[in-house]
Amino acid sequence: MGTAPFHIAGNLPYYITTPIVMKILEGQVPAAKMVFMVQKEVADRMVANPGGKDYGALSMAVQYHTEAVKLFEVPAAAFLPPPAVDSAVILCTKRTQPPVAVPSEKLFFRVVRAAFGQRRKTLANSLQGGGFAREEVAAMLQETGIKGERRGETLSLEEFAALSRSYARNRKEGVSDET
């Protein structure tokens, strides 16, 4: 694979869309733009905003690495034979810089995965269930002013970044990716 930025386009198989997208985003693939046709529900998750049921770890990863826009929907009837689901075409333009400052991407996404790992639990309980000690969670929440009673799906990208920065400061881990 060359090093010059390139474009990726594809109709992604529904059952492996998320792993493919994550491999591209996390693998430092030099793709400037990506245009995918995916299951409509997956496209909705990729561009979801905080507060809704579609918002989750996939939303965070896509929006951290790219500017994503759902271009249009494609009904199942447009295909022969028609699949059981509708599709959507999404454009993801790679960001030159992440939209938020984090001590390390690995730590940032550890916080994100923990917060969304147990969606029906409060943020404080989800973070603890995700491997953060009770004292660490209390310090993170106090320092950032984020209420522990909230749920992960209500937090913005900046709030997740603030939690990861707080954790790194309190653990004196700086920018180490070993977190």
Torsion of CA 9, 12, 18, 24, to 10 degrees: -30
Do 10 and 90 share a domain, yes or no? yes
Do 164 and 127 share a domain, yes or no? yes
Predicted local distance difference test score (pLDDT) of residue 27: 74
Domain of 86 in residue numbering reads as 6-94
Do 115 and 159 share a domain, yes or no? yes
What 3-state DSSP class applies to 18? helix
Structure-token match 């790679």, residue found: 94
Q: DSSP assignment, residue 78?
A: G
| Gap between the Cα atoms of 49 and 156, Å rounded | 8
Q: Is residue 158 part of a domain?
A: yes
Q: Is residue 100 part of a domain?
A: no
Based on the structure, what is the number of domains in the chain? Answer: 2
More confident site: 13 or 69: 69
* Reported pTM: 0.87
- Choose the final residue of a domain: 72, 94, 116: 94
Question: How does residue 1 score in pLDDT terms, banded at 50, 70 and 90?
Answer: low
CATH code for the domain of 48: 3.40.50.150
- pLDDT for 39-71, tens place per residue? 999 999 999 999 988 999 999 999 999 999 999
- pLDDT for 153-164, tens place per residue? 999 999 999 999
11-15, 57-61, 102-106, 168-172: which range is least confident on average?
168-172
Do 79 and 113 share a domain, yes or no? no
Do 73 and 129 share a domain, yes or no? no
